């Protein structure tokens, strides 16, 4: 299977909520797609609908819906192969859904074309790439972000559960240099992003993932001034969606048992709490395969 657009960047995940989501919950996944971008079939099948700006392809009993097309290039009854062009995007995004029988709007499922992506081979480097959510741009870490992030991470209350203290600018710059360089251990990849709140054009926190083999351990921090706005939940959910596309089998996080806000974020991102404690923190797990 394949992504529906080249260099796919998710701008709104399945299950996202907000004013722009019909019915309160987003029923599919939106990909950045400027006007004229080629839209391609994620899986071989038969075209069962071409209506307005929407094309539907049935593959093994699953409907794959592609919406916001300006120029559909197929007709009902056509047979398409994986990667065949279905049309051109209207822009600024492509809406993609997967539905199971009887194919009503309520019969949607989390898009699964990404679970067929082969995970990186042992020793192959996994690289953090930019992706967007409803309000956030998740930008791969660079030492140049040390100065604004030192202000974001300056509140002592951020360290109540995770330990430590606010870093100085020099300490943070050195940390970012090490994180960008990576662990140097074969098969272990350090992936780090800063969170830019697009409406305000300001950095507000970070997310990170340590990928080892077929597992990723994730973490998130949002600055004290921006907490209580659903930013951590949006960022963690977006990160889990991005990691799905890397073909991983398991995502884990460690949350302090008394940190109710982080537990809510982990749950919203699809992880489930276990009874396992590691160094006083509770293990949360999302099994992808």
Average pLDDT of adjacent 10-residue blocks, the chain of 289 residues: 78 70 73 89 91 91 91 91 90 90 78 50 64 88 95 96 93 94 87 95 97 94 96 94 81 96 96 95 92
> What is the pLDDT, as a whole number, of residue 9?
80
* Closest of 43, 41, 51, 50 to residue 75, by C-alpha: 50
> What is the pLDDT, as a whole number, of residue 142?
92
CATH code for the structural domain at 10-116: 2.70.70.10
Pairing of strands 131-132, 29-32: unpaired
- Domain ranges for the chain: 10-116, 131-287
| Verdict on whether the full-model pTM lies above 0.75 | no
Q: What is the dihedral of CA 18, 20, 22, 24, to 10 degrees?
A: 10
**Biggest alpha carbon–alpha carbon distance for the chain:** 63
**Which helix (H) or strand (E) segment is 137 a member of?**
strand 136-140
**Residue 48 to residue 277: CA distance in whole angstroms:** 50
* DSSP-derived 3-state class of residue 37: coil
> What is the pLDDT, as a whole number, of residue 150?
97
> What is the pLDDT, as a whole number, of residue 170?
96
> What is the pLDDT, as a whole number, of residue 123?
46
Specify the length of the chain in residues: 289
Tokens standing for residue 55: 């094309």
Structural fold of domain 131-287: Aminopeptidase (3.40.630)
């Amino acid at each position: 299977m394949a992504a529906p657009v080249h260099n796919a960047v998710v701008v709104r995940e399945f299950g996202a909520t907000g004013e722009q989501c019909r019915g309160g919950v987003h029923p599919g996944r939106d990909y950045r797609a400027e006007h004229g971008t080629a839209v391609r079939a994620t899986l071989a099948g038969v075209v069962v609908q071409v209506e307005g700006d929407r094309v539907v392809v049935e593959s093994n009993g699953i409907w794959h819906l592609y919406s916001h097309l300006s120029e559909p290039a197929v007709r009902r009854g056509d047979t398409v192969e994986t990667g065949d062009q279905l049309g051109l995007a209207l822009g600024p995004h492509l809406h993609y859904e997967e539905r199971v029988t009887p194919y009503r709007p309520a019969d949607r499922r989390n898009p699964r074309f990404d679970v067929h992506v082969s995970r990186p081979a042992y020793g192959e480097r996994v690289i953090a790439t930019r992706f967007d959510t409803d309000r956030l741009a998740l930008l791969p870490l660079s030492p140049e972000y040390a100065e604004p992030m030192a202000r974001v991470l300056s509140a002592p209350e951020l360290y109540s559960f995770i330990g430590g203290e606010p870093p100085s600018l020099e300490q943070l710059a050195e940390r970012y240099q090490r994180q960008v360089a990576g662990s140097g251990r074969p098969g272990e990849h350090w992936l780090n992003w800063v969170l830019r709140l697009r409406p305000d054009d300001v950095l507000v926190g970070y997310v990170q993932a340590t990928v080892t083999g077929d597992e990723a351990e994730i973490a998130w921090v949002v600055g004290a001034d921006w907490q209580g706005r659903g930013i951590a939940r949006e960022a963690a959910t977006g990160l889990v969606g991005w990691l799905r596309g890397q073909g991983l089998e398991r995502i884990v996080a460690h949350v302090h048992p008394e940190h109710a806000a982080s537990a809510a974020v982990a749950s919203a991102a699809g992880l489930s709490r276990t009874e396992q404690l590691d160094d006083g923190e509770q293990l949360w797990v999302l099994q992808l395969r």
